[in-house]
Structure 1
Amino acid sequence: MSALETKYAELITALGMSGATNVAVRAQDNVLYIDGVVPTGEAKDRMWAIYEKIDPDFRGGDLVLNLDVSPAAPSTRLKVTTKSSNLNIRKGPGTDQPIIGKAAHDSVVTLLSKYNDEWALIRSEKGEEGYCSLQYLTAI
């Protein structure tokens, strides 16, 4: 087991217990890559919460967490209600996380889970999955 696998052992164990499928864990160039499909948005949120506990504010830069939520997961549809611009979809729950996609103003997204009172895990109409600010989502 590599030092990174030891550091993130709690996360790897929790992922295995979550019912995740297609899980792959590999270390390359001092970065641990964890890929897989989790059964629900809440399961993905739990993995990000464990990651944040191990590496507060995700500052280590030594983990790439690539988890998708199963298409069969329960979900709710919401409308993007930004003032006029697109809504940023981020890799993780925080403005420090990279932008991985955008949802257009007035488009409809699928809410997979609420990470906390500020962030939601969503899937765009284009299939981009990530976190965005809850303040720009409205029930339809």
Structure 2
Amino acid sequence: MAIESLRDRVFSTKSDVWSFGVVLWELFSLARTPYPLIRPEDMCRKLAEGYRMEKPPYAPRSIYQMMLRCWKAEPSERPSFEKLTINIAVLIEEHVKTFYLELGNPYTKIYADIWKRERETAISAEESDALEVE
């Protein structure tokens, strides 16, 4: 829960952005409980002092940076959901491009090997034809 929600019981789209950052953390930590080892009565003070959860093991640095922006102490400094949507779309697009490029690597090697064998076979056939003519 956002600092202002804990302290002043203020709920807004910006406090929802904070919560979205926590949901991201839960997703990339594979459903670990957020704010481990912090007692509920200490939560508001720790957050106000700047405590933020560590990067989850499965989160890329770019996603963790997004989480940290969602957890800015000042609500006006947190990104809008529109901005988050754009950032996530860009990250997904980059990941998909990388994934498909990596996915294509084995096929590129397979086709290169096939092409090499066919070429060697063609050269062998030409050489044997040349020997028969002589």
> More relative contact order in 1 or in 2 (CA 8 Å, sep 6+)?
2
More helix by share: 2
More strand by share: 1
Question: Bigger radius of gyration, 1 or 2?
Answer: 2
Q: TM-score w.r.t. structure 1 length? A: 0.27
